[in-house]
Amino acid sequence: MAPLAPQTPSPQTHPVAARAPRARAAAALAATAVVGTVLTSYATPTAYAAPATHTAADPATPAKLPRGLYGTKDPRYDGVWRQSLALLAQHTVGVRPAASAVDWLAGQQCADGSFAAFRPDAGAACDAKTMRDTNQTAAAVQALAALGEHGSAVQKAVGWLKSVQHDDGGWGSMAGSDSDANSTAVVIGALTAAGERPESVTSKKDGKNPYDALLGFQLGCDAKDTKDDARGAFAFQLKSAAPNADATAAAVTGALGKGFVVDPAGKDATAPVKALTCGEDQGRDSAKATNGADGVDGADQRARAADAGSAYLVAQLDANGQHLRSAMPGAEQQPDVGNTADTVVALAAGSHGADAQKPLQWLEKNAAGWAKQSGPAAYAQLVLAAHATGTDPRSFGGTDLVAALNATGPAPEGSAPTTQDKNAKNTHDTGGGINVWWVVGVGLAFGAGIGFLLSGRKNKNAL
């Protein structure tokens, strides 16, 4: 779920920014351009660092934040992303967002259905200079589809996403940028949220679907120069492919056909992860993903690929004190809170409830300060992690994530905890809100301009 660092292809790789591992490469650019912003994962970059700040002299910095927008930091690189996550998290826990917040998000859409990270003048038509972003668009689709009453906007956005699908069946963060695992995964979540069957959305030239592209990023037994303990992991992109924890968390969730919101894993959801065994390679062959290998159908093949990715993530968690690690270029490694939260969601999506509990407990003890510093997307990410594990986000390690999330934007119109939340394992009724995901983080140069991808799900962490 979540924004990461951008890809560096032409410009960015993953608008989901911040989180875009896509932007791992771009992360370096972002690091230079956005000093102080840490890449975390899932919707943002790295973890404990403070987000970039902008001076009053910066002409591109909005003099006044728009009415209805969540967060107080510069929205140029993650406005739509953080707004979408905040609204989605609120809706997931039964909070009715303010009309002004929903209207702001809907008003950011271009006539062709796409979304950019931030349009200061939503009344002006989008043109060739508008940096349309697949991650921002996919995040908006998931939020608007969940909120309801925006069917036309959702369908237009899905139509635009289909129009920029690559021949390999996947997506990059920007139209024209190479496909990457994070962007492809977040679009799969959007297609599912909109009622589409991802496997039926095929490229015009080669007839490839999103799963063909996504499973192609997995490092299987045929992957060259890959250590045995990295097999099963996903790479951010095929070029210079290397195991990437952020991309793996996003890909696991996407391979299971899920988006940012994952239904709570019940008490019986304790399936153990199964590492990739060579001889049973999930493989890079897209035909396997669609038709199955040795008689295994596509759904089973995707589930096996997700399981192998989950095994890689669990191994990384076990080796690092039940959290993932990341670092800005040239900086010392530090806990990657955002990617750890995304990993909890990914494990819950695969019914690995027992494995999800350990990193969840680490988050309960260590994530509050990170979320407070990072803002609404970070709070949303944590809210969604709590939801996926059946944990009460209103009593998360002593923090009411919902109230904290609500406090970052306009006051909600109402709050009515859902049945699932009432039955959460840590029952504690305290107002509503949401808080999750993290900060916008890495940046990526797009075309002649520099765009920073902020997305909780895309931080290019090479672990």
Q: Classify the C-alpha dihedral 362-363-364-365 as positive or negative.
A: positive
On whether the CB atoms of residues 461 and 324 are closer than 8 A, the answer is yes
- The token pair at 195 is 């009622």
- The token pair at 111 is 């006539």
| Number of Cβ atoms within 10 Å of the Cβ of 462 | 16
On whether the CB atoms of residues 173 and 30 are closer than 8 A, the answer is no
On whether the CB atoms of residues 52 and 341 are closer than 8 A, the answer is no
Task: Please state, in angstroms and rounded to a whole number, the distance separating the CA atoms of residues 446 and 256.
Answer: 31
Q: Classify the C-alpha dihedral 276-278-279-282 as positive or negative.
A: positive
Burial of 295 (0-12, 13-18, 19+ CB in 10 A): exposed
Task: Give the residues across from 174 on adjacent strands.
Answer: 133
On whether the CB atoms of residues 308 and 275 are closer than 8 A, the answer is yes
Tell me the three state secondary structure of residue 287.
Answer: helix
Its pTM stands at 0.79
Burial of 76 (0-12, 13-18, 19+ CB in 10 A): buried
pLDDT at 335: 94
Task: Give the residues across from 352 on adjacent strands.
Answer: 270
pLDDT at 327: 57
Q: What are the φ and ψ backbone dihedral angles of 297, each rounded to 5 degrees? A: -75, 170
Q: Which strand (E) or helix (H) includes residue 336?
A: strand 334-336
Tell me the three state secondary structure of residue 226.
Answer: coil
Task: Please state, in angstroms and rounded to a whole number, the distance separating the CA atoms of residues 337 and 323.
Answer: 7
pLDDT per residue rounded down to tens, the chain (463 residues): 544 433 333 333 333 334 443 333 333 333 333 333 333 333 333 332 333 333 334 445 566 899 999 999 999 999 999 999 999 999 999 999 999 999 999 999 999 999 999 999 999 999 999 999 999 999 999 999 999 999 999 999 999 999 999 999 999 999 889 999 999 999 999 999 999 999 999 999 999 999 999 999 999 888 776 777 888 999 999 988 899 999 999 999 999 999 999 999 766 788 899 988 886 444 444 334 334 433 347 899 999 999 999 999 999 999 999 999 985 666 788 999 999 999 999 999 999 999 999 999 999 999 999 999 999 999 999 999 999 999 999 999 999 999 999 999 999 998 644 534 444 444 333 333 333 332 233 333 333 232 323 334 444 333 4
Residues 6+ apart with CB under 8 A from 228: none
Q: What angle do CA 137, 139, 140 make, to 5 degrees?
A: 65
